[in-house]
Chain A
Amino acid sequence: MNFLQFFGKKTFSHGIHPPEYKETHHQETRRLPFPTQVILLLGQSIGKPATPIVHKGQQVERGELIAKADGFVSVPLYASVTGIIKGIELVLTARGTRESAIIIETALSSGQRQLAGHQCDIENLSRQDLIKAVWDMGMVGLGGAAFPTHVKMSIPKDCKIHTVLVNGCECEPFLTTDHRVMLEQINHLIRGITIALKCVDAPKAIIGIESNKRDVLEAIKPHLPNDSSITIEMVETKYPQGAEKMLATALLGVEIPSKSLPSAIGLAIFNVTTLAEIGRLLPQGQALIERIVTVTGDDLEKPGNYQVPLGTPLGHILDYAGFTGNEAELILGGPMMGMSAASLDVPTTKGTGGVLVLDKRATKGDDIMPCIKCSQCLQVCPINLNPAELGQLAAKRQYDVMEEKYNLNDCFDCGCCSYVCPSNIPLVQYFKIAKTLNRQRHQ
């Protein structure tokens, strides 16, 4: 039991309270018009990219399989528009790399109806078949991590799941997609939770939401099943409450052991939008081909939540949202963990929950100063690492010491340390680089 729980507060220790900027939370989800072309990256999730099964010039329908999974930690990809395959090319991604993508030119005159799948009788499917069905729909964690959902659902044999945690925290500032889904798709969500419970063979689920979403609490309560197999609880609004470890601690007072999965202590954790989409699509036998994206920030005439086909180029989204600025940062994801895109041609992916346009906001000036050992970063790191020391070691390129003595690999890039650092040291950046180099070294 942790110390904060002792005082009856549902939260975790450390973390930060950034301004919320969630102006779009009352905006109903609207459909974005189809772009003239979509750019579908083959690798949109953690794991191996999918293998294309279409060729240039081929006609495809919206919802048709265009690339199949390559191994277990990989998911298939479906066409997000009806149209003609323009090619399979290397394109620029938000990460700044060039990766393979299938480009489809949209047949704007067609009805763009999603291909009907096989109706799927959830009640009578076995656990294995359900997980297979989730895999077949190309589902990944939509909260941002984009980890293949079927992998997460395949619980190791020696683990027994006692509780499913449904993550509705959405702690990143600006983003409101989960919030909208929890208001607009309650039936889908409940059905998705039921499916997840069956997949991981667990008796109960808890939906965890941050205290800034009280309307969700009121809206969902009447729909919960009477047997209290699904409950909803409110936790403190604090970043990074939406991280799996932090949510487990806030709701149950347990710590997920370092270097272990939640299943090690009998938990399985899914994002609300992921489950709502499973609840919506799986019974129809349909695949994941679009997602809700919060489009928000500065210089936009129509910010809001949009249903966006996967692979839509940023330019199209900004165009429709009425971007009027001359200079901006374009961020895919939230402001804490997102990535800035270098071009309007960068496409959205399954993991893109937000498109954020910022003109020079809240920067402290770009001067990086030496660490003044103010200990702010230690006081906010939710993992209780020593970011100051890690930062100094990174500057000296002692990446191995960082890993062996200072638990570098427990850092999950939440960015709290960089957020508070008065010296503007790009700590998370250092840690990401160090982790990447260490991985390469170990190979």
Chain B
Amino acid sequence: MNIRVTRAIALALLLGAGTAGAGVVDELLADYQSAGAGPFDPKAGAALWLQEHPSPEGPRACSTCHTADPAAEGRHATTGKPIAPLAPSARPERLSDRKEIEKWLARNCKWTLGRECSAQEKGDLLAFLRTQ
């Protein structure tokens, strides 16, 4: 625990603390890093956010449901249900619950890319989303 906290703090300082959802996202990034990934790049995350992956029902991207702008309201591609903005700037409670983030990244990567995201991809995506 202590080691993780120290690591998280070190990382927070590295990345420049003060961004929303700092604690939980830092913790996840530290975990991905100890799994061998990193450093994490918000620009790579932004590109992955928009990248289209082929599927029998047509191309799929994160932006298919969340729109190109994470601070905008999205719409679920199959059900049409509105999805509140993901960006912490628009909705401070986003990216603040570890279980929630991991659950949705697992599901949404499978739906979008047809496979789980790697630790590097998840780290890049979170590095991007937290700045939004």
- Whether A and B are associated in the same complex: the answer reads no
